[in-house]
A and B are shown apart, each in its own frame.
Chain A
Amino acid sequence: MHSTHYDACPECDLLLRAAQPNIGEKAHCPRCGFLLSRPRKQSIERTFALSIAGFISFFPANLLPMMGITLLGNANTGILMSGVIALFNEGMIAVAIVVFLASILFPLLHICLSLLISGHLYFNRPHRHLIKWMHCMHHLDEWVMLEVYMLSIIVACVKLMALAPLEFGWGLYAFIALIIITTLLSSNLDEALFWQRIDQLGKENQP
């Protein structure tokens, strides 16, 4: 059947003619207002470039000290991982795992997956795991919480400034860069286009 000429709204199940908005335009569901599609200029190229930039900035953001505080002569510096370890040492294992996943492992996985997928699409290389990677990335998206972490840093800074002077390290600037890159990345990644390209690649390479 000609099912590709139609589209269904994921939130109200209205059957629609597949909208083909131009780049820069948005298509909303006429019944519930859901954002159906928002094509991006050079989505694959930009996603690929941003994934590389995100991958590079991930390491300074995680390895360089973010901030330091001197309390009663004792100097302490923090990186993302040291917060996880401190929680773990206090026996808050479940919380430590949640913080580790949401602020370190899932962001890294998300960047790696978008790098792999956009890289394969950019060079027109089919791969048998492309579909699996897309599924993983789709499910990870909600659990990457870097921007929430940034807000926590701000609140923690305000609380700590009452106690003692704070110093900010290069890790924090790299972390801010990482957040900007991942935000741009998710706004440039057009999932519908990616699925179409994966489908095409699969069909072209079938014997």
Chain B
Amino acid sequence: MKAKKNALAQGFMRCHDCGYLTKTIDQHSLCPRCDSHLHARRPRSLQRTTALLFSSFFLYIPANIFPIMTVNQFGAGDPHTIIGGIIELIDGGMVPIGLLVLVASIVVPSSKLVGIGLLLLCAHFRWQINARRWTVMYRVIAFVGRWSMLDIFMISILVNLVNSGSVQIIAGPAATAFAAVVILTMLAAENFDPRLLWDNQQNL
């Protein structure tokens, strides 16, 4: 039995931009309140999310292999990768800050990649799941994404302040890759439509 409680099943579409509910299922109509295009679900949600997810997955590899910044001290360069910087913080006794950076730059991006992947598989293969729990997972993924920019902003502060002839911090190629990963996963989360999880449930 297909869910009858859904607005779409009863002939309503909700505007993505202003939230106005319209009694139509014509996919070419415009919202009467704000003139945006009406869509029952985000257009090509699964394809777009998959494309963004794969791009960010491939960029995640250089982001972790290449140095994110290099500390030049009296002529000797000391390149750091993302993980190297965290290990140095923890070795230096700054455990809470080290853990914070660990969460923001390793735990959040990698669990986002896995989480969005699972959401896509679930929507595509019509898994019968606890949709409420999965929607909460989607919400967490969408919320935490922006906090991964922590490392990028920190580099811009350090590059600017530590610049005195003999001691210098230089940003590395991983910074570009990592910034791209954060932005692409944010876009992937934005393009995923959690209503697809609910559409596939047989016993609602």
Contact = CB atoms under 8 A, between A and B. Distances in A.
A4 interface: yes
Interface residues of A, number: 62
Contacts of B7: 6, 8-9, 13-15
A23 interface: no
B11 to A, nearest CB: 9
Contact residues on B (Cβ < 8 Å of other chain), bracket: 35 or more
Contacts of B170: 90
A199 interface: yes
B162 A71 contact: yes
A95 B162 CA distance: 18
B97 A71 contact: no
Contacts of B203: none
Q: Identify which of B33, B151, B163 gathers the most chain A CB atoms within 10 Å of its CB.
A: B163
Contact of B157 (A90, A138, A152, A162): A152
A192 interface: yes
A69 B6 contact: no
Interface of B: 5-8, 10, 12, 14, 16-23, 33-36, 89, 92, 94, 97, 100-101, 104, 131-132, 135-136, 138-139, 146-147, 149-167, 170-171, 175-176, 179-180, 183, 186, 190, 194-195, 197-199, 204
Given A31-B5, A76-B162, A152-B152, 13 more contacts: A8-B21, A9-B7, A13-B6, A13-B195, A13-B198, A13-B199, A32-B194, A72-B167, A92-B171, A96-B156, A103-B153, A158-B97, A160-B162
